[in-house]
Amino acid sequence: MNAPRNTQYRHLEVHKIAGSLGAEVHGVDLSRDVSDQALAELRAALLDNLVIAIRDQNMTPAQQLAFARRWGEIHLHPFMEGMADYPEILAIIKRPTDKKNFGGSWHTDQMFSPCPAMGTMLYAKEVPSAGGDTLFTNQYLAYDSLSDAMKTIARQLRTVCVGDNFKSANGLSRKDRYSGQMSEMKVKDPGNVQTTSVHPLVRTHPETGRRLIYIGGHVQHFDGMTDEESQPLIDFFMRQSIRPEHTCRVRWQTGTLTFWDNRCTQHFAVNDYPAETRIMHRITVCGDQPF
Ligand SMILES: O=C(O)CCC(=O)C(=O)O
Ligand SMILES: [Fe+2]
């Protein structure tokens, strides 16, 4: 490990993995009852680093669920079917025959919901011999690095976010996109769960109080503006978000549990392991209405 240990922690070892966001955590066993002190340090590590990769875990679905419940209520994905025994857990599976992967474009989870997920935890069950990393952005920096004039413009915009048939998927439904391409990912009908929402482009993080650019692949256009008017600005804010110096990259090992703060990051699952299997167990924790 090259990065120096962050000494503010007593119950965990925390090492940054990039300059702008992301840390590796060692020294905690999530399959046991995590102490309140260790949980408070995990929360501090998450708020400070936005993404924490907790290494060397060995947990059952029930243990992962118990850990997730310490953070809040579980958010159910309106479009994706959970595991038969654990509907709260989504198995993200890519087989050698699958051409596409789940989450293979820049986005933030469930931005189309009125109260999108606060955070997402992915637990690596099986990883390819190389590749299958996940990239993350720091959306605070996407805001902080704007000029004052652009910040003022950004603060007036609201995004219209859609969960299905969205523009970046060429209007194809999830069912049509996933069938045949992601053989083990089951799409369900959301019923009357709301899957279109309007959010402020500049969001204030409810715990840190910091402003950030809240944007991702579900954004269709700005409220009250045409597609043609919106797209150049959407492209600009996306480019600003994914500048290399605003990103980090998590390299998985079997047993890594990565937890990201979905309110202030975007992520991208890299599809670069065509002949191998990758299996993740995913749980999302409920969040608040963005303001
Ligand atoms: O598989 C991954 O690395 C991330 C997939 C994704 O977008 C998600 O779990 O929300
Ligand atoms: Fe995602």
Q: For 96-132, what is each residue's pLDDT tens digit?
A: 999 999 999 999 999 999 999 999 999 999 999 999 9
Residue nearest to atom 5 of ligand 1 (CA): 103
**Cα 210 to Cα 202: distance, rounded to the nearest angstrom:** 10
267 C-beta closer than 6 A to ligand 1:
yes
For residue 159 the two structure tokens come to: 């995004």
Q: Is the CB of 248 under 6 A from ligand 1?
A: no
Atom 2, ligand 1: residue with shortest CA distance: 269
Q: What is the pLDDT of residues 172-208, one digit of tens each?
A: 788 777 777 888 888 888 888 889 999 999 999 999 9
> What spacing in Å lies between the alpha carbon of 10 and ligand 1's midpoint?
30
pLDDT of the residue at 110 = 94
Of 63, 66, 28, 31, the residue nearest 44 (C-alpha)? 28
Helices and strands (H, E) in the chain, number of each type: 6, 16
Residues 257 and 54: beta-carbon distance below 8 Å: yes
Mean pLDDT of 81-93: 95
Q: How far is CA 202 from the centre of its chain?
A: 18
CA of 157 to the centre of ligand 1 (A): 27
Quote the ligand 2 centre to 253 CA distance (angstroms): 19
| pLDDT higher than 60, residue 11 | yes
Per-residue pLDDT at 1 exceeds 60: no
As a CATH number, domain 13-285 is 3.60.130.10
E strand spans, the chain: 13-16, 23-26, 51-54, 74-75, 90-94, 119-126, 134-137, 158-162, 196-200, 202-204, 211-213, 219-222, 247-250, 257-261, 267-269, 278-285
How many Cα atoms within 13 Å fall on the side-chain side of residue 95?
8
CB atoms within 10 A of CB 16: 18
Whose alpha carbon is nearest atom 1 of ligand 1?
269
Domain boundaries, the chain: 13-285
Mean pLDDT throughout 265-275? 97
Beta bridge partners of 91: 281
Q: Which residue, judged by its Cα, is nearest atom 3 of ligand 1?
A: 269
